Structure 1
Amino acid sequence: MGIRATAVVCLALVAPALIVTGCASADDASVAATAQRFLSAAGQGRGGQACLLLTPEAARSLDDCEKQIVSVGLRTGAVRGVEVWGDEARVRVDGDTLFLHRFPDGWRVRAAGCEPRPDQPYECEVET
């Protein structure tokens, strides 16, 4: 096999991996940005903006979303980790964990203010 054929074979094998990696990085950045916008809005008392970043179910779970989302005490922090599984994601920030879902128009927060519990699901201040 010549050098040109070897290069084509290598490119054919490497290109799909680069595409998958590129998508994961784009998803991670988009998820992290949505989480940060949500936490920033909630922490700065902009409940209306924070509620727009919730899934419809999460927003409906709060009696008065704009007031309750501010009273929960969510604050922005440094992103410590992002994990994406298809249309679901988890973002860990200083002192908080958020869960997000991908919709056709982008990522939305479905749970926030979440604390891990040993051998049990997370306990969240805001959730669907």
Structure 2
Amino acid sequence: MGIRATAVACLALVTMGCASAERTPVTSTAERFLSAAGEGRGGQACLLLAPEAARSLDDCEKQIVSVGLRAGAVRGVDVWGDEARVRVDGDTLFLHRFPDGWRVRAAGCEPRAEQPYECEVKT
């Protein structure tokens, strides 16, 4: 393998490593959020919401549990700078990176043909 091909291969591995490193905290936040909401731990779920999303619910701790969110197998994670989308079985979540870490901006989201997602919880 030539020097140029080796450099390109190394750059690709480094880039993949960075993308993978970005996905880990996003996935962890989404899984912790869905687990807390699905298991009736509304207070813990609300702590993982973006402030605007938490404020959009009249009684966050009760409402977040009543939405019917459930943990599921992660089917895909996309990260674009400070924004991310996590697709799990039966749900899509959108997250934003804040100074203290990733928070859920929208959950219980379903795609709609040629329109924005329809979300149960949103900012």
In the superposition, the TM-score normalised over structure 1's length comes to 0.88
What is the CA distance between 1:13 and its match in structure 2? 4.6
Matches within 5 A, 1:2-81: 13-81=8-76
Structure 1 stretches (4+) deviating beyond 4 angstroms? 6-15
| Higher Cα Rg, which structure | 1
Structure 1 residue aligned with 2:82: 87
Structure 1 residue aligned with 2:113: 118
What is the CA distance between 1:106 and its match in structure 2? 1.2
Structure 2 residue aligned with 1:103: 98
Q: Where do 5+ consecutive residues of structure 1 fail to align?
A: 1-5
CA distance in 2, matches of 1:57, 1:7: 52
Q: Where do 5+ consecutive residues of structure 2 fail to align?
A: none
What is the CA distance between 1:14 and its match in structure 2? 4.4
Q: 1:11 to 1:104 in 2, by over 3 A?
A: farther
SS of equivalent to 2:111: strand
What is the CA distance between 1:46 and its match in structure 2? 0.3
> What do the CA deviations read for 1:12-52 (whole angstroms, capped 9, x no partner)?
55444333221110111211111000000000000000000
Bigger mean CA offset, 18-27 vs 73-82: 18-27
SS of equivalent to 2:69: coil
Structure 2 residue aligned with 1:3: none
Structure 1 letter corresponding to 2:17: G
The number of residues matched between the two structures is 123
Structure 1 letter corresponding to 2:76: G
In the superposition, the TM-score normalised over structure 2's length comes to 0.91
Q: 1:18 to 1:35 in 2, by over 3 A?
A: same
What is the CA distance between 1:103 and its match in structure 2? 1.2
Structure 1 letter corresponding to 2:21: A
